[in-house]
Structure 1
Amino acid sequence: MGFRLGTLCVGMALVAGCAAVPGRPGPAGAQGFWRGEIADARTQFAMMVAPDGQVWGFYWPDDAVSIYQFGMVHAASTVQGATFRAAGRDYRPGGAVADGEATATLSGATMAGQVGGMRFAAGYSALYEQPAPFGLLAGKSWLFTDNTGSSGRFRIDANGRVWGVSRGEAGSCRFGGMVVPQAARYYFDLALIFDDSAACPLRAQAVAGVMVYDDGILEIGMLPGDRSRGLIALATRDVD
């Protein structure tokens, strides 16, 4: 994803970010990392199309300076011939949620189409085809900030177990779960459960999503089971 708080290298390795590796789409058509621009809205976006067709994406205005300006998209997608279609939910900055859909034409390592009546274009990154770098995460602690206004610390052990604490206006919230690396894809599946505490933004709820490592930064997108809100987090290595 490549979002650097402060220097704002807003690129997101999740879809061919600041260190994009050019390449052609894999055998599943649209599967992979993509990055592009919604020109009519002066908005950048980054997305991953997973092997099962799930789309995880982030978008932000050209002049973004904070994680709170990010939105997230989660959708189901299909490819028929050279036509890519996706339909799902748009988790907008500020907390609003709306249904949305996109249609695009695939051509080699590019796609171009429309979303919400606006034109967009994107390019593919072969970074997706590398294995997830679990060795860079295991046994380390991470400091994070998320779009709920919380920040905190978590740790990932050698078996992929995760535990941590977030702190927001309501107090401290504990959470735990698992990270599972993809063997031949550059992302991780992530599942967490929050404590049954009023300090937790999703009290006693489970969330699931994806995580990408890019040059020292973990970029995370998650959803609860009812898909009522989108959680975005950025994490950097803690000094143990």
Structure 2
Amino acid sequence: MLLLIDPNNPLGSGYTRDQVRGLSDIAREHDLWLVDDVTYRDFNKGHVLASAFYPEQTLTSYSFSKGPGLAGMRIGALVAPPGGTVMKALRRFDTNVLGVNVLAQRAALAALQTKKEWLREVRATCERNQATIRRAVEKVDGASLPVYPSNANMFVIDLSETGVNPESVEERLLLDHLVHTRAGSYLSRKHGGKFLRVSFTVPESDAKRFAEAFPAVMEALSK
């Protein structure tokens, strides 16, 4: 099996069309199933599905928690090749014996049916918020964005050259400014002490509040 996560969490990096095609070719050459996790695809204008190149053995995994913003509904989708054989086999591993509630299903359907109405503005807001956050990061010596612009709804702020602990930054932003971020330690034991994860699918006023607070917190913690 070959697992493709595109775009990637937490960096926000994505694959080009040629890269997706190349990975699909590798999967086909070795008779592998390709699992294409596209949870953040709504934020990437140039996203390409692996099933476009390898439809016969690609499973596409999607979550409604990101683009449509239905995180609390706990609903997603798994798309398999036609025929039903694969889905029947996968049912043996389904641990959700109660299924998904009707409200979540209705919300997911509504999100799909109205996608043309909300997706453009969501992307535009994310672009503006990314730029706002980038300007704040540029004010802090040693801080940087390894990936910009992000293809997802978050990116990583690299703090490794600042000498400041990301967990301390997370704590001070939350307690002093009511700004919620995540220190990298919740994602990676090896590299978590180097970065802060920041999401930007928020109102622009929230991104501006982060932009005002982040340089001040970094300056205070650097003393």
Larger Rg: 2
- The structure whose residues are more often strand, as a share, is 1
TM-score by length of 2: 0.28
Using CA pairs under 8 Å that are at least 6 residues apart, name the structure with larger relative contact order, 1 or 2.
Answer: 2
